[in-house]
Structure 1
Amino acid sequence: MLSLRRTPQSEPVPGTVPNSAGGHAFAVDDWARLDRFLVLGSEGGSYYASPRALTAGNAAAVQRCIAEDGLRAVAAIVAVSEAGRAPKQDPAIFALALAAASADLATRRAALSALPRVCRTGTHLFQFAGAVEATRGWGRSLRRAVGTWYCAAPVEALAFQAVKYRARQGWTHRDLLRLAHPETDEPARKALFDWICRGRMAEAVPEIVHAFTKVQASDVDGAVAAALIRSHNLPWEALPTELMRSRAVNEALIERMPVGALVRQLGRLTAAGALAPFSEGTERVRAVLSDRERILRARLHPMALLLALKTYASGRGQRGQLAWEPVAATVEALNAAFYTAFAAVEPTGKRLVLALDVSGSMGCSTVAGSALTAREAAAAMALVTAATEEHWQVLGFSGGLTPLPIGPSMRLDQAVAATANLPFDATDCSLPMRWALKQEVKADAFVVYTDSETWVGPLHPVQALREYREKTGIPAKLVVVGLVSNGFSIADPDDPGMLDVVGFDTAAPAVIADFIRS
């Protein structure tokens, strides 16, 4: 006989659909899935769905949003991109290309008008060119939009892009300029276009181009290159490979390197001797990573810092043979910067159960195509909330449940590593609520970090929450932090006490706190 109060997760309850694991969960709507895709992407797939299948599903959801309300979809893409809410720009660029190929004229115009707001670097523009070429032809409006990208940017900034991002994704600036044919009366911009397309060096070409040609000469040594870096702000991508081993060059780069590039290069800079205990370079890195305004202005995503911390503390690159001795001060600076990169969160003062799904699917899924598993991301996200709250308990669950002795007093990479040693098992997302009821734990909210691929257990998570509410008299809330861009959630969209948010969205901790507090 069907029970609506205690239904095994292998069977449906009203409003649920089959998930990829053989259980049942609630389907998130297309707009929620658009947000998930823009933040999390689908490159890593999930344990139950391949990257190709997830990408196809997400692309279909994005296209439905564009068809339903193209202007709203473009606004969502721009909002995620400009606020730096996503670890990577790739999903936003892909979605913008789909909008630029819409059958609706207003949507196409909005997408192409948003091009410089989403594609802020040469690499972004090259990615967009590849994506949009696969969905539409190079018509007049597309050529005009690309031409505007080259004509609207300040010429010095454009020259910087030209020497920094010379070729990516099978595209060059020469390719795009020849397609777009932008026209300009500015002597410096005209000379820059001529240098890019024909290699001709006119006097009016911006100074950074002259510096670039000098540093590319075969007889330039580290001291000369370091002087050119300091005088013309040359990026490391503009330097020949052999100069990157020079300590003088690396010390000069540290002084001017953008914060995102600096974080990615910490291992190499340490191996080159530019970062060492008590060195001037290390002090500069500490100053940069403690500068909240600079981190937020650079749109440096917390996941970039977490990945940098994980890699740097290990003393070895993920690829190749590069190795280094980590500098303790740099490790601690990365740890602190991770929390800084999230939006400021006001504590709720509530009693929170932070429940981490540590099942097999979470250990095999990756976040935004990175080396970070969904299981590790869950630990990091939970620590952000724990760092701002006074009353919390962290749990790990799969087929069973284990209280976890982790919290913000631990270094982030150590807490993340601790979850990797937990046993893999099947997924039962009802366990946190059932545990709290059995242990007579008084909780105001359960925050569950999961991929929602739950499939075992005697009752659905929503039924477990409602049973907890009934038996304790506490109107407990449920927040589901989704860490894979699939179409499922254990949160009932019709229950005002349940909320689904996107994991590793920089706005997520503040959204969670506001919901719990309300």
Structure 2
Amino acid sequence: MPRDPLASITTHATPQTQRIPGRTDQVRNAAGGYVYPKDTWTRLEDFLILGTTGGTYYVGEDKLTAENAGLLFQAIAEDGPRVVQLLTDISTARPPRAPKNRPALFALAACHAKGDAATRQAAKDALRKVARTTDHLSTWFGYLKNLGGKQTSRGTAPVVGSALRNAISGWFLAADVDDVAFRACKAMQRKTPNGEAFHLRDALRIAHPNRRRGAGSRQLLDALDRRVLLGWITGNVPDDFARDELPVVDKFLTAKAVTTPEQAVRIVTEARVPWEFLPDAMLREAIVWDALVDTIGMTALLRNLARMTRLGTLKPLGDATRRAVARLTDAGAVHRARIHPMDAWLALRVYASGRSQPNPRADVHTWKPVPAILDALEETYDLAFGTVEPSGKRLLVAVDSSGSMSGTHYTIGPVIVGGSPIGSPYEVGCAMAVTLARIEKGNVHVIDVDTTVHTSKVTPRTNLREIASWRPSGGGTDLSLPFAYAQRERLEVDGFVVFTDNETWAGRSHPSQALTTYRGSINAGARTIVAAMTATGHSIGDPHDDGVLNIAGMDASLPLVVNGFIRG
């Protein structure tokens, strides 16, 4: 009997290199498989959390960045104030949802440059919330010049109008005067993303806050300390007068006059002078860092653990080590400091490596990691997610271990940070899986998938340091496997969590088809969370399925979202 070609058409099992019959909404991913496009706002959220640094295995950094920038402009045209609200929520969340603030600053600059009047007003009001440091402000200003500036004989200049003046004025006027003074003393000058010098003095000359007409601005400028601060920044108020009116400036000038480690320790411990104000020479002294262990901010502590170990401040059984461990494992302090889990993960990776080289021309720094600090950093990582109660549900967590998740030419975030690698998407996915396993305790089973299912090493007891030595299986990608595996093994799970770049192509059926089959035979209410590790704009999750949720894989709120969504 001749073969009937129509019999090969089915909605139950379609090769991933073909569209599911009737699903004209599917798009082709970079690997040649068909997946579902994400909506504008989900894609924008991915961009704001994941960024585009390094590109992906299939898509270069420049192309990925251009695609996400185009998406951003589309979203601004559709609903600019909504864009501002979303980027503000992500940037200011506690814990912060994104490991880096630059995508939010870029989006804010785009809203100011490309938005309508309502969008620009919202962007103006958001600047002081999103740009919380001089570095943030200079980054935003550089992006703004690129997006809305004008070409001159000397480069690109900002288009100065009332919107820009009001936005920058708000940065200087809205915050408490001591906060602004601290920002200024900590960093009076930074560079824009293009490497141009940006000085707060120049920002004030653009803003002219003394000319603002609003009643609130007049009231703020009537205060002597505010006028003194702004005058000191622009160089119109002498140091002696400024220090008499502003305690922060007094501490800054006192710190700059320090010439011995003993003086530095005294002003840090007695006068509570911020460490950022000390001369560089004092920050090469072990005795100074012994005093700073108790006073520097949590983020600064994370970033300087290697330096303190190299100088001998941190050592096994040392008192400074004990105090550092106490701070790193203080849940309240971690939460107040807005530590993102990836900050703790990076600190752990860098510290455990025992080696860094900030740039190719710099000297290589080495140190011997202190085990107690490594253990404390593991706890910092867990604490950074906040308090999350177990859901009590059964979860199958699948980490995509295919070649595109482990490519050595790109990583999540910069390839090298401070001279040390942060790791591949596969490693970050495993680290997130460890967190879910620890929270849910015995209710999580983790697998690796490429074109077959592999046993994962992840358990609630997994040491995060181990992950750096793991090697993914590599090969092709078939993301129908988590659901097919659960059906074949008759696993009754309440939810699936898949960490992936969504570049699936190798399966004989689509992931959404395999999920439907699983629900039909094992658990009709099983839900799925697809955690994207790259901002590529597509997903294996069917957008018409209310039981499927897309989320950025490095979102610090992921455990809480998993808990709530799987519970229904």
1:191 and 2:228 correspond: yes
Alpha-carbon displacement from aligned partner over 1:425-471 (angstroms, at most 9, x marks no partner): 11111111222222232222221100101111111111111122223
Q: Specify the code of the residue in structure 2 equivalent to 1:135.
A: L
Distance 1:494-1:336 versus aligned 2 partners, 3 A rule: same
Using the TM superposition, give the Cα deviation of residue 232 of structure 1 relative to its aligned residue in structure 2, in angstroms.
4.5
Cα contact 1:44–1:51 (8 A) shared by 2 = yes
Tell me the residue number matched to 1:17: 27
- Using the aligned pairs only, state the percent identity: 39
Using the TM superposition, give the Cα deviation of residue 127 of structure 1 relative to its aligned residue in structure 2, in angstroms.
1.0
3-state DSSP of counterpart to 2:222 = coil
Comparing 452-461 with 246-255, greater Cα deviation is found at: 246-255
Alpha-carbon displacement from aligned partner over 1:14-42 (angstroms, at most 9, x marks no partner): 13101112211111111001111111111
3-state DSSP of counterpart to 1:270 = helix
1:55-70 equivalences in 2 (<5 Å)? 55-70=65-80
Tell me the residue number matched to 2:87: 77
Q: Specify the code of the residue in structure 2 equivalent to 1:25.
A: V
Q: Specify the code of the residue in structure 1 equivalent to 2:175.
A: A
Using the TM superposition, give the Cα deviation of residue 394 of structure 1 relative to its aligned residue in structure 2, in angstroms.
0.9
Using the TM superposition, give the Cα deviation of residue 361 of structure 1 relative to its aligned residue in structure 2, in angstroms.
1.2
Using the TM superposition, give the Cα deviation of residue 355 of structure 1 relative to its aligned residue in structure 2, in angstroms.
0.5
3-state DSSP of counterpart to 1:35 = helix
TM-score where L is the length of structure 2: 0.87
The partner residue of 1:96 within 108, 119, 129 is: 108
Using the TM superposition, give the Cα deviation of residue 417 of structure 1 relative to its aligned residue in structure 2, in angstroms.
2.2
Distance 1:3-1:318 versus aligned 2 partners, 3 A rule: farther
3-state DSSP of counterpart to 1:26 = strand
1:368 and 2:368 correspond: no
1:224 and 2:234 correspond: no
Comparing 365-374 with 451-460, greater Cα deviation is found at: 365-374
Tell me the residue number matched to 1:339: 382
Cα contact 1:393–1:403 (8 A) shared by 2 = no
1:124 and 2:136 correspond: yes
Tell me the residue number matched to 1:406: 458
Tell me the residue number matched to 2:445: 393
1:285 and 2:307 correspond: no
Tell me the residue number matched to 1:52: 62
Using the TM superposition, give the Cα deviation of residue 502 of structure 1 relative to its aligned residue in structure 2, in angstroms.
1.3
Alpha-carbon displacement from aligned partner over 1:40-71 (angstroms, at most 9, x marks no partner): 11112111111211111111222222211222
Cα contact 2:181–2:229 (8 A) shared by 1 = yes
1:172 and 2:199 correspond: yes
Q: Specify the code of the residue in structure 2 equivalent to 1:347.
A: P
2: CA distance between counterparts of 1:60 and 1:473?
40
Comparing 117-126 with 368-377, greater Cα deviation is found at: 368-377
Distance 1:19-1:119 versus aligned 2 partners, 3 A rule: same
1:357-506 equivalences in 2 (<5 Å)? 357-364=400-407, 365-369=410-414, 371-389=422-440, 390-414=442-466, 416-418=467-469, 420-506=470-556
3-state DSSP of counterpart to 1:244 = helix
Distance 1:279-1:388 versus aligned 2 partners, 3 A rule: same
Cα contact 2:290–2:313 (8 A) shared by 1 = yes
Tell me the residue number matched to 2:175: 153
2: CA distance between counterparts of 1:131 and 1:138?
15
Cα contact 1:357–1:397 (8 A) shared by 2 = yes
Q: Specify the code of the residue in structure 2 equivalent to 1:30.
A: T
Distance 1:118-1:366 versus aligned 2 partners, 3 A rule: same
Q: Specify the code of the residue in structure 2 equivalent to 1:224.
A: Q
1: CA distance between counterparts of 2:506 and 2:357?
35
Aligned-residue CA RMSD (Å): 1.9
3-state DSSP of counterpart to 2:507 = coil
Distance 1:104-1:53 versus aligned 2 partners, 3 A rule: same
Task: Extract structure 1 runs of 4+ deviating beyond 4 A.
Answer: none
Using the TM superposition, give the Cα deviation of residue 148 of structure 1 relative to its aligned residue in structure 2, in angstroms.
2.1
1: CA distance between counterparts of 2:443 and 2:171?
50
Tell me the residue number matched to 1:202: 240
Cα contact 1:19–1:453 (8 A) shared by 2 = yes
1:34 and 2:44 correspond: yes
3-state DSSP of counterpart to 2:283 = helix
3-state DSSP of counterpart to 2:114 = coil
3-state DSSP of counterpart to 1:429 = coil
1:140 and 2:173 correspond: no
3-state DSSP of counterpart to 1:135 = helix
Cα contact 1:78–1:118 (8 A) shared by 2 = yes
2: CA distance between counterparts of 1:190 and 1:202?
15
3-state DSSP of counterpart to 2:460 = coil
TM-score where L is the length of structure 1: 0.95
Cα contact 1:316–1:322 (8 A) shared by 2 = yes
